[in-house]
Structure 1
Amino acid sequence: MLTAALLVLSLARLLQGSEVAGVGNVILQEIVNIVQNEVQHEGCRRDSLLLIQEFQNYTDWALQMVDATAKFPVGILQGNLRQLGDFDECVTASGDGIRGQYCLANLQATPRGPEWERVLHRATAGRRHLEKTRGRTIVNAIPTFARLEWAICVPSSCPAHDVQAVINAALQRLDLQIDAEVLPEACQLESNSWPQLNFADYVMIAIIVATMVLLVAGSAYDKYLERNKDIKHNTGDLEKILLAFSVPANWRKLLDTKQNPGNVGCIDGIRTLSTLWVIVAHKMLFLTTEPLVNKVMLINFIQDIHKMPLANCTLNVDTFFVISGFLRGYNMLGELQNGRFKYLSSLVQRYLRLSPPYFIMIGFYASLLMYLGSGPAWNETTGVNSLYCRESWIFNILYVNNYFNIERLCVMQSWYLSADLQLFLLAPLVLYPLWRWPTAGKLLAAGLLILSVVPPVAAIFISQCPGIPIMSAREDKLIEYMMYIYATTHNRLSPYLIGLSLGFVLDQLRHRDIALSRFWVATGWVVSSTLFLAITFGPYKMMQMDYTYNAVEMAAYGGLHRLVWGAAVAWLVFACHTGHGGIVNSILTATPFRIFSRLSYSIYLTHVAVDLFISSRIRSPLWTDEFQMVHSYLADVAIIVMASLLLHLMYEGPSLTITAIIFRKDKPVDKKPKGSTKGMTVIQPKMNSNTQKNSH
């Protein structure tokens, strides 16, 4: 605002002798008065007056700071409300002992009449009264359509409160009903020197360096053994642990496409496609928080019913819960039959399998991620995420962050890992009765399955929250939904119980001929396909901006859709594994899916960090459409896969091998019934790594 007025002054200077020059002098005097009266910091006052003087003299650094400040925007009615100026031009401006400082002011407009109210309603895609335009509770998790921002380049000596005071004073002089807020984290300087690292940063660097040393040593030792096969080596546990860090060995394991007996092959395809869907979901979520030239387009996007799989894209998580429950159920029942199940041992093994790469990502968020880039929103996105991890890491490593301090969630997607481990802990309460007392266990499982829909139904109905993320919901209700319904374990029971039940069914069918008539196979596929379509496209009207909230409708869909989706996924796994999958099974068991499936956990851990990094670096509002979305998505996937490969080869692969060394077991005895197994679907009691390691 203030420096924009300096541009008017510049025009007046070019038109010397005209009446405009007089207007320029008036504006200049107003600016000087504002600075002298409103700026409290002496250095800021001095530097600001020098900026005005040097701008009159056309000094390069002063012109650069004015030029970097946002100007009157275009495309307001299309949602172009966040004017970011030129970040790099501002922070690189310097001269006469003054450095440029980039500040992003958050504006709150008060319309003077119904005409302006209608304009703002259109420009904010109807979300003007649904969002708080100040402060963020859950970073990058809530849509942002109503934020008005204005970038201003000021001297580095100016604190945020002085910048805010000057902008508000200028707005009052212009008689505009706009109030500005400038937070300290919204002002940034150029990061042109080596950052001041703290103790945690050095610890993280030391861990990475130590890992690199182990990777080199493990790879070299592996090559030594490979070249000296004729020499008899007695490899002990320490040598095996060193070999766990062998990059060639972990690379071979990753690319191994051999299909082991007893492998539920379709899970590879389901896991892969669901992982890609998760990336889509978070990509769409980040788009709703980013500055776009045509942001209103996103509201128009959800009006196309054929795009509902992209708009209603949180269903992928329920697929993972079904798979996770199935793997837990089938493995535990197999171990019970062989007398090998140990509750504490299985829990520790699970914790050690998941934690090393996860903890590395937490440490990376809390330390080094902050130093990797810059941008107008870097501090309030990447910076805030880093802060949350420094504050709340203890809840992550205890796997309780989906209940404690969730409003400051470290690693946004990590709530799932906590919910999954908690369900892993509780699963024996259902599985042991099913194994020990089958009839009573079935009644218990059925009762729990029915009761599992009660918590989400009650929570939605009582709190009047949406049952799914919808654009017509108020921001506070979306936050309540994310914190108390979406991320809580007790509201995620139904798909996990479906998975446990599927594990029990397939356990009962071990070594049995599963022959279904064409009628029942066709019926199963028709019913499951109908359920998939109904759950995906059913909430179309709910997701539109003109939807009128109906608590009963929301509670019914919000409480039942996870159960119904889980049942459809369970049929998909059952049919494919028992030989009734046809072309669907052929697709889901394709060789590339096996490789991608092994990498999916690392992808899950890294993809939001990549999205966050890309989003935080945005310098100016972007224009987008369907093609741009696809183009950006494919580029993101390529970067995510590369980042995931690093995490897998450095931490996930070694941790899996080391965990297997610690919990080394004899191969279980397959208690097959006597007689031929010809024409039968045989499922081994112990499955390969696909089955042993839960999905994420």
Structure 2
Amino acid sequence: MVEEATKALFPGPLWMALDVAQDPDGDAADGPPPLLQAPGAGVLNSERTLNLARYYLPDLDMVSDPCKSDVRAFYRSFLQKKLWAAKMVDSWGKLPDGVLDGNMQAFGSLDECLSIHVEPEGSNHFKGQYCVISFKNATQANVTAGESFGNEEETRLADPRLRLAPFIGSFGPFMPVAMYGTCQPSTCTDDQLAESLSNVVKTQGLNVSFVMCQTDAPPTLDYNAGDVIMIVVLTLLCLTAVAATVVDVWIINTDQQDLRNGRLKYLLVFSIYTNLTKMFRINTSKNSEVISCLHGMRVLSMTWVVWGHQMGLTLFFSINAFSAAAKYLQNSWMNQIILNAFPSVDSFFFMSGLLVAYGLTKEFERTRKFNPLVYYIHRFIRLSPPILLLSGFLAVFSPLLVRGVLAPSSDAPGSLSSLCRRYWWRDAFFMTNFFFSESNTDSCLGVCWYTAVDFQLFLVTPLIFLPLLYRRKPGAVWMGFVTLLSVIIPATITAVNELPPATILDITPEKSMAEMKLIYTAPWCRAPPYLMGMWLGYILWTCREKVTLKKWQVVGGWCAAIAMALAVIFGLQDYNTLSGQVLPYDPVVSILYSGLHRLAWGAALLWVVFACHNGYGGPVNDFLSHPSWQPVSRLTYTMFLVAIPIQMMIYFYSMHMQLYFSHLNKILETVGVLFLSGLAAVGISLLAEAPVLGMERILLRKSQ
């Protein structure tokens, strides 16, 4: 029973390999050398090899020279037990161990295949060409990872858009992907192999989903207009930064500081030396106007985001995917922290609203004016240049940085490079979330839905907040009304569309997409924590003197904050079980949680920051306000942008084999991603962020 069910899920070459391994009549005398008689490879005699090779090599009747000649040379060399032919068969993906535990991809050995170089042997002279093959059922399309692999027309496998919520929403009726690797002569094409395989597997009710091939030839640039522009821009930025650094060091060594006030000041904003010094400066002095606990909160929120993405993006390419999914989705506290990691983004919205309101209140008290031009331009040049630089870099150079079984897809339609070439403007001009629909979810940097929502909330902040500065009581009433609306709107949308309480596992793909479009990426539904931050920003500035609280107030505040935070994180535990059954729509739970949980999370953070800033944080404040957080805290924005591209390049495009899924392994991988993201963030900040902000300060000072 188990064998028949498994054969239905894993058709074709994997079971052919198993049949070979189980063949009791195999003639070892006619078979290959002991190299091929390893577990899983079986005893491949000539007849069995010829039968099995139909799934790994093009059919001789369907190809012409030189491919036909080289495939024949392989058969002859294999029967003659030549090492290169044995290595080619050995590199083929065969039925792996743990198939019923989710080990569904038999990638074989990429490096072994690419190391094959057949010296001139008659008319044959070729290299090994590694190919990845995937099938799909002719009557039912593969369910891979939800929306994560692109669209049907562009072969939706090998697409980097592994968005967490859509693939979770489609995880329920899971069907394995039959994907394996082969090695063929470099004179054969992927189209020839695909056409040949189609004839072989059509009798089994299968279609070839895709064939991707590569040799050891390094990837190259097309040098089109976009490539040339990006190379020129990046070269000029690097040369300018080097020149500025040389001048800066020369000024320091010669003690000619007066030169900084001349025309050189426009060059010195690019100085790597000065900008690195500012970036990694640690300030231990106390300043009542600095909300120091935000440094730790920002870094921890960033870590939570990357950890959640790492767990989700690598689950389906794990060697123990099935048992890992069961463990990953158990009702334990650690799993729920990851499955419901979405409040980590609300933390960023809260801090954004807090700092905007805090700065507006401070500036208004100083000048009694609001300068909309400076307000909007500053925000745009603060956020957009790093996005532009990273998008251009990924569009041009990302295919050059990867090497793995799926590396050919890095420049295919729907890939990271392709998406950045086509849709960079959506991210750079903060429109990503408005294109979130079933037919078009494409963007270069998937996380830029957040920067888009944040910028859109920033746009309307003056309309909400300025009345509070001009006339306190009417302004407070107005802002309170807007806060109430921010609760009513998502609750109403949830009720009208019968949506789940939030982004959860036990949900249909249709409801998941609707929740993402109508709630998750809508600025009017993500406003509650932002508004709570605005309230706190106003309170902290207007109450600059330390607020005196009684002991019961402090204890009550911390108890309420902890209770609200725990309710938000663990309140969806019954919905994140992957039981195979979608829970019936519960209007009370869905409406209340959808409307209130982001406001509750913002309220919990409000108390934490208020208590820490006013001396009631105790060990929490000591931890969050520790000076060691400061350097990484300054890099969290660029780390946020670059983390997922790094995860995709390492764990998707550069994958050679599947990894074992465990909490410890994912924590170690997350630490590695954070380290690499930090290094990349330093580069982006030095070339795009710090110079632009430095130039802005000079121009604003000059205009004033």
| TM-score (norm. length: structure 1) | 0.84
Q: CA separation in 2, counterparts of 1:579 and 1:608? A: 37
Q: Which residue of 2 aligns with 1:557?
A: 593
Instruction: State which of 230, 240, 253 in structure 2 corresponds to 1:204.
Output: 230
CA contact (8 A) 2:110 2:405 kept: yes
Deviation at 1:324, TM superposition (A): 0.4
Amino acid at match of 1:104: V
Cα deviation, residue 70, structure 1? 0.9
Question: 1:42 offset after TM fit, Å?
Answer: 6.6
2:371 equivalent in structure 1: 342
The 5 Å alignment of 1:543-582 reads: 543-546=576-579, 548-551=582-585, 552=587, 553-582=589-618
Residues 43/16 of structure 1: CA separation in 2 closer, same or farther (3 Å cut): closer
Q: Which has the higher contact order (CA 8 A, sep 6+)?
A: 1
Distance 1:381-1:520 versus aligned 2 partners, 3 A rule? farther
The answer as to 2:351 corresponding to 1:323 is yes
The superposition leaves residues 501-520 of structure 1 with CA deviations (integer Å, 9 ceiling, x where unpaired) of 2222234324x452222222
State the match for 1:618 in structure 2: 655
Contact 1:377/1:617 (8 A) holds in 2: yes
Counterparts of 1:93-242 in structure 2, within 5 Å, are: 93-95=116-118, 96-108=124-136, 135=156, 139-141=161-163, 142=167, 146-171=176-201, 176=204, 179-183=206-210, 186-192=212-218, 194-229=220-255, 231=256, 233-236=258-261, 238-242=263-267
User: Is residue 466–residue 477 contact of structure 1 (8 Å, CA) maintained in 2?
Assistant: yes
- Does structure 1 residue 256 correspond to structure 2 residue 281? yes
Q: Which deviations, in whole Å up to 9, do the C-alpha atoms of 1:277-333 show, x marking residues without a partner?
A: 122122112222434344431331231422122221121110010110111112112
In 2, the alpha carbon distance for the partners of 1:380 and 1:458 equals 42
Conservation of the 8 A alpha-carbon contact between 1:41 and 1:162: no
Structural mapping, 1:422-501, within 5 Å: 422-463=456-497, 465-501=499-535
Aligned with 1:151: secondary structure?
strand
What is the rounded CA distance, in whole Å, between the counterparts of 2:417 and 2:515 in structure 1? 24
The alpha-carbon deviation at position 183 of structure 1 amounts to: 2.5
The answer on 1:532 being equivalent to 2:558 is no
- Of 347, 368, 387 in structure 1, the residue corresponding to residue 418 of structure 2 is 387
Q: Deviations over 1:356-375 (max 9, x none)?
A: 22211111111111111221
Q: Which deviates more, 196-205 or 527-536?
A: 196-205
Deviations 1:18-37 (A, max 9, x none): xx999954873797899658
1:660 is matched with which residue? 697
SS in 1 for 2:671: helix
Segment of structure 1 superposing worse, 190-199 or 3-12: 3-12
**Equivalent residues of 1:84, 1:150 under 8 A apart:** yes
- How big is the shift at 1:658? 1.7
Partner of 2:448: 414
Partner of 1:79: 102
Residue 378 (structure 1) aligned with residue 414 (structure 2): no
Q: Which segment is superposed worse, 356-365 or 139-148?
A: 139-148
Q: Which residue of 1 aligns with 2:9?
A: none
Pair 46,476 (structure 1): closer, same or farther in 2 beyond 3 Å: farther
Q: Report deviation, 1:638.
A: 2.3
Q: Distance in 2 between matches of 1:488 and 1:378?
A: 34
Change (3 A) 1:582 1:32: closer
Post-superposition offset of 1:543: 0.5
Structure 1 residues 461-470 or 328-337, which shifts more?
461-470
Three-state SS of the structure 1 residue aligned to 2:264 is: helix
User: What residue identity is the alignment partner of 2:420?
Assistant: C
Return the offset for 1:591: 0.8
* SS of alignment partner, residue 427 of structure 1: helix
- TM-score, normalization by structure 2: 0.83
For the aligned residues, what is the CA RMSD? 3.7
State which of 386, 391, 396 in structure 1 corresponds to 2:427.
Answer: 396
Cα 1:22–1:218 shift into 2, 3 Å:
closer
Identity value in percent: 26
Summarize the alignment of residues 578-593 of structure 1 with structure 2, pairs less than 5 Å apart.
578-593=614-629
- 2:552 matched to which residue of 1? 519
Match of 1:650 in 2: 687
1:88-124 Cα distance to aligned partner (Å, 9 max, x none): 2233434324443333222336999xxxxxxx99xx9
1:682 alignment partner in structure 2:
none
What is the deviation of 1:382? 7.2
Q: Which moved more, 1:317-326 or 1:299-308?
A: 299-308
Measure, in 1, the Cα distance between the counterparts of 2:656 and 2:492.
44
SS of 2:571's partner is helix
Which runs of no fewer than 5 residues in structure 1 stay unpaired? 113-119, 668-696
The letter of the residue matching 2:104 is L
Give the counterpart letter for 1:154 in structure 2. Q
Q: Aligned residue for 2:90?
A: 67
CA contact (8 A) 2:66 2:187 kept: yes
Q: Distance in 1 between matches of 2:494 and 2:409?
A: 30
SS in structure 2 at match of 1:367: helix
2:641 corresponds to which of 596, 600, 605:
605
CA distance in 1, matches of 2:63, 2:517: 41
Conserved? CA contact 2:426–2:443, under 8 Å:
no
C-alpha distance in 1 between matches for 2:132 and 2:679: 33
SS at match of 2:131: strand
Q: Deviations over 1:408-453 (max 9, x none)?
A: 1211211111111111111011012222233332222222222213
1:359 aligns with 2:388: yes
**Alpha-carbon shift at residue 194 of structure 1 (Å):** 4.8
* Kept in 1: contact 2:230–2:392 (CA 8 A): yes
The change in CA–CA distance for 1:474 and 1:157 in structure 2 (over 3 A counts) is farther
Q: How many angstroms apart in 1 are the aligned matches of 2:48 and 2:383?
A: 66
Tell me the residue number matched to 2:29: 15
Greater shift after overlay, 22-31 or 293-302? 22-31
Distance in 1 between residues matched to 2:78 and 2:16, nearest whole Å? 12
CA 1:22–1:55: 2 relative to 1, 3 Å: closer
Change (3 A) 1:5 1:525: closer
Report the equivalent of 2:678.
641
- Structure 2 residue matching 1:620: 3-state secondary structure: coil
Q: Using the TM superposition, name which of 131-140 and 565-574 deviates more.
A: 131-140
Query: What corresponds to 1:299 in structure 2?
Result: 326
Post-superposition shift, 1:206?
A: 2.5
| Counterpart residue number, 1:247 | 272
Offset of residue 202 of structure 1: 3.0
Q: Count residues with an aligned counterpart.
A: 648
Q: Distance in 1 between matches of 2:428 and 2:643?
A: 20
Counterparts in 2 of 1:59 and 1:203: CA distance versus 1, 3 Å: farther
Separation in 2, partners of 1:481, 1:188: 39
